[in-house]
Amino acid sequence: MSVRYTHTNLIAQDRERLVAFYETVFGCERLSPQRDLCGRWLDEATGIAQARIRGTHLLLPGHGLSGPTLEIFQYDPAKARAGTGINTPGYAHIAFAVDDVAAVARSVREHGGRDVGTLTSVELPSIGSIEFQYVTDPEGNIIELQKWRTPPNPTAPSGHTSGDE
Say if residue 68 is in the same domain as residue 99.
no
Report the C-alpha gap between 129 and 144 in whole angstroms.
15
Per-residue pLDDT of the chain (165 residues; tens, 9 = 90+): 988 889 999 999 999 999 999 999 999 999 989 999 999 999 999 999 999 999 999 999 999 898 999 999 999 888 887 777 777 777 889 999 999 999 999 999 999 999 999 999 999 888 889 999 999 999 999 999 999 987 655 555 555 444 444
Report the amino acid identity of residue 90. G
> In this structure, is residue 160 part of a structural domain?
no
159: CB partners within 8 A, 6+ apart:
95, 97, 146, 152
Q: What would the 3-class secondary structure string for 7-54 be?
A: EEEEECCCHHHHHHHHHHHHCCEEEEEEEEEECHHHHHHHCCCCCEEE
Report the C-alpha gap between 114 and 112 in whole angstroms.
7
Residue numbers of the domain that contains 141: 94-148
Say if residue 14 is in the same domain as residue 63.
yes
Q: What is the pTM of this model?
A: 0.83
CATH number at residue 131: 3.10.180.10
99: CB partners within 8 A, 6+ apart:
147
Q: Is 70 in contact with 19 (CB distance < 8 Å)?
A: no
> In this structure, is residue 38 part of a structural domain?
yes
Say if residue 12 is in the same domain as residue 69.
yes
